[in-house]
Each structure stands twice: as C-alpha cells, then as structure tokens.
Chains A and B, each alone.
Chain A
C-alpha cells in the first residue's frame, strides 16, 4: 500500500523567502511522485512530477523537488516566494506496480506575507 505524509498543514513565509514544503512517501515499489497546486475553488494543477529519471525535478512557476530514496522524501522548494504562490499544495504518489490511482497527502496551505 502507498501513502503520503505532508508535514505541516500550514506554512507561512515572507515574500522573497525560501519555500520548503515537506513530503514523505511510503511505497512498496519505485514510485511516481507528483506535486499539485490548488487555488481557491479551482481544480488541481500539476506543478512537477518524478518518474524515475533525474532525481532533481524542475516544475512550473520556479518550483523544484528532489527525490531522495534513502529518506523516502520528495520535498518541494522555491528559492523566493511570491504572493501569487499562496495556495494549497498536495503531494501524491502513484505506484508502478499496477493501477493508476493517485494517493494524496492531506495538503499544505502556503501563506505568503509581505
């Protein structure tokens, strides 16, 4: 069975500061990992994905994430936060052993302050 844990349901940063959103996964098979962003009353937009190629993955809007197998982590970072980054962020895992369903974490609400 697969699972995802997102540490910190709420994260607050100052504009221009580093953004770090944590995600740890549990999977019995090498996983596909995803970060999605959800703006209020909207659907989920794919930020980036890891599919067993490069361990450092670059996504849209300046975000990137690093897959660390030894730590079973896939933390999301952005060097400099912008007000428009305020949203909810979801980490998700999909196993490669069959089945296409995504298992999501409970989400991290990012607040960006002036």
Chain B
C-alpha cells in the first residue's frame, strides 16, 4: 500500500514563475491537507480539501496561492508569480476522514521549493 506520494521532490523556480506541486493521497483516503515548513520552523497548516471541495483554507495566503483536489487525479497546490519568500518545504498529508483512524494524517516526503 503506497503512502502519500508527492512530486516533484525538489523544484527550482525563478521569481515570477509558477510552481505546481502534486500530491496523491494514500489509497482509500479522501481528505488531503497541505502544510508549509519554513527553515527552522514547524509546519504551518495551509488548506484542507476533500474531493472537489475546499473545506478549510484559513492558512492560505490571500494572493497567488490556490489548491484543488479534483474528482480524478492528484491534489495540486499552485503558487503563481513565486517570490523568494515562498522557498520552503511543502508537505501533503492525507487521512481516511472517518472511523477511529479518521483523524490521523499521514504525510508525504514533501516538495522542497527553491526560488532563485
């Protein structure tokens, strides 16, 4: 049973370009979460999605950031017009969303974004 898959593992972008980060949840999981980890800091929640719905986006910056989890395919975190401050590790987590294990989030290995 494959875990949470994120790609790419490393992404380099120049200022002003777009970054697209992909996350495939664990099999059977319908809930996806994105977190950002800045250097020397803990993870900060960004957004929580279920299939085709954004449930909680209270941690998303108001501009340039968007997320989706379509009916088919992986969840995508999109950052438009990247700036150097966007350089961070972006982690995706998934959970079944129900039952005793419904609230346990399993994390991917992350995408490390570097903005030049």
* Chain A interface (Cβ < 8 Å from any Cβ of B): 32, 34, 36, 41-46, 49, 51, 90, 92, 94, 99-107
Contact = CB atoms under 8 A, between A and B. Distances in A.
Interface of B: 4, 6, 31, 33, 35, 41-45, 48, 55-56, 58-59, 91, 93, 95, 97, 100, 103-110, 112
Contact of B45 (A36, A101, A107): A101
Contacts of A90: 42-43
Contacts of A106: 41-42
A36 B107 contact: yes
26 contacts: A36-B107, A41-B109, A42-B110, A43-B4, A43-B6, A43-B107, A43-B109, A45-B107, A49-B104, A90-B42, A90-B43, A94-B103, A99-B56, A100-B95, A100-B97, A100-B103, A101-B48, A101-B56, A102-B33, A102-B45, A103-B45, A104-B35, A104-B42, A104-B43, A105-B42, A106-B41
